[in-house]
Amino acid sequence: MTVDVELLATMSASEVREFFRTSDVLEITTLVRDASDEQLARLIEIDHFRAEGVAAILDRFPEFADTGRLGDIEGVVRFDLAHRKKKHAECHTARFAAGSVSLEPDAEPEVTISADLLDFVRLVTGQSNAALLYLGGRLGIDGHAMLALAVGSVFTVPGSGVAAVDPTSLDPVDVATAVATTSGKHMRSVMEGDFRPIVLEEVFRRFPEFIDTGKASGLELTVGFRIGGRLDGEVDRYVVHVRDGACTVETDPPEGQRRDATITIDGADFLRLALGQLHPVRGTLRHIDLQEVNLKEAIQADVTIELEGIDDAPGIKAGGVLDQVTREITVEALPTDIPDSITVDVSTMEINDTLQLSAIEAPSGVTFVVEEDEEVTIAVLAPPRVEEAAPEVEEETELIGESEGEGGDGGDGGGDSGGDSEG
C-alpha cells in the first residue's frame, strides 16, 4: 500500500509506529520531500505522529546516514526538538560510536542540538544544511559545535547513499540569506566558537568570485584584514591582493608586508559587512566600487599594541603582575606605512614601573594620534598580589561547662562560703 501525507494523518499510533519502523528509508524520505511545509506541520501537530516519528528516526539513524561520515563521529548528543504550537520538546539523548547510534536517556551529552521539528525532519531527509540553520539561528548548539555539525552532515540523498550536504562548504549567497535576520548576539556567539575558521575560510576562499573584473582592471591594491572577536583575544589575519582584475587571498600573511590599507574589525561585524553586500539572487557585491587609494595622502587607523619581553622583565621575575592598560592606539601615516601592530618592549620594567605612550618611539613615518598633553598609559607593573591571611582563631579546648565555671569563680566562692556557714 502506498502511503501519502493525507493517509498518514489518519493513522493510529500503532499504525504510525509500524510505518516508521518497517518502511524502507527511501519511501520515508521521498514522502517527506514531496510534502509541503504546511502538510508536514499538520502531521507534526499530531502527538502520536511526533513521538513515534522522532523515536523511529533516531533508532534508524544509520539508515538515513552516510556510513563513512557516521563512522567518524564519536560522542553523546542530546536532541531538543520543539514544535511551535507545543510547550514541551521531544528530548532524546543518543550515543554515536563506531558507526552506530544508540538511545541512552541517562548519558551526559557533550552537545545539545535544539531545533524546530520541521527543520529537523528536513535535515534528516537531506533537504537542509545544518551549518546554514546554525548561522541563521534556527539550529541551537550548546556545547561541542563541531560534533553537532558533524552529526548534521551525515544525511544522504534518498536512494543515492551520497551525503546530501557538506556543512563546511558554504555558498556565500546562501549564508547571506541565512544571516540576514540573525541577531548580533547570535552572530558573535557563532564567530567565537569552533565554526569560526570554517566561515572565514569559505568567505575568503570565494572572495575572488565577487570581484568586478571590469572595475578592477589595471588596479593594484593590497588590503589587510585583522578579524577579532576570538575568545583567546587573538586575531585572524588575511590579505587580499588585486592585480589587473585578478584577486588572490593570503592567509596568515607575514608581518611588515606592504599594504595600501588594513581593516581591523570584529568577527561578527566582518561577517555582516561581507555578506550584507551580497545580493541574495545575483550573488554579486553591491554598493562597493574598488577605487585607487591615494598613496600620498595620510590616513588614520586604529592599531593594536602588542607587548613583548614580558617574561624577561625583572618585575615579573620578582612576582609582579603586568597590567596592559591600553591595547589599541590611533595612528596616522601614509596607507603603505600603516603597521599591523605596534610592538612594545617591556623587558626592562621593574615593580611599580609605569610605561607611558610618550616613552615609545613611533615607527618611521607613523604618528600617534592623541590629544595635546594627554598622558596615555600603556602598561603598569604592579607588586605581587598578596592575599590577606584569614585571622587565626584560637582553638577552644575547654568544655563550655568548664569555661562557665572559670568565669564565675567569685560567685562560686561566695556560694561555697555561704554553704560552709550554713553547715
421 Cβ contact list (under 8 Å, min separation 6): none
Do 235 and 228 contact (CB within 8 A), yes or no?
yes
Q: Is residue 398's pLDDT more than 50?
A: no
Instruction: Count CA atoms closer than 13 A to 342's CA, side-chain side.
Output: 26
Tell me what pLDDT residue 152 has.
85
Per-residue cell: 214: 571590469
Instruction: Count CA atoms closer than 13 A to 48's CA, side-chain side.
Output: 12
47-83: pLDDT as tens digits:
888 888 888 888 888 888 888 888 999 999 999 988 7
Q: Is residue 297's pLDDT more than 90?
A: no
Rounded Cα gap, residues 79 and 59, in angstroms = 13
Q: How far apart are the first and last CA of the chain?
A: 113
Of the CATH numbers 3.10.20.30, 3.40.50.300, 2.170.120.20, 3.30.470.20, which one belongs to the domain with range 299-382? 2.170.120.20
Question: What is the share, in percent, of the chain residues with pLDDT greater than 90?
Answer: 23
Rounded Cα gap, residues 376 and 344, in angstroms = 14
In the chain, ranges of CATH 3.30.1050.10 domains: 5-166, 190-276
Amino acid code (one letter) for 146: M
Per-residue cell: 420: 560552709
Q: Is residue 207's pLDDT more than 90?
A: no
Rounded Cα gap, residues 83 and 81, in angstroms = 7
Per-residue cell: 257: 608586508
Q: Which residues of 206-221 are buried (b: 16+ CB within 10 A; e: fewer)?
A: bbeebbeeeebeeeeb
Of the CATH numbers 3.30.1050.10, 3.40.50.2020, 3.40.640.10, 3.30.420.40, which one belongs to the domain with range 190-276? 3.30.1050.10
Residue range 5-166 forms a domain whose CATH class is alpha beta
Beta-strand pair 261-266/220-228: parallel
128-184: pLDDT as tens digits:
888 888 888 888 899 888 898 888 888 876 555 555 556 556 676 777 777 776 777
Rounded Cα gap, residues 379 and 81, in angstroms = 50
In the chain, ranges of CATH 2.170.120.20 domains: 299-382
Instruction: Count CA atoms closer than 13 A to 367's CA, side-chain side.
Output: 9
- Only one residue has cell 563521529, namely 73
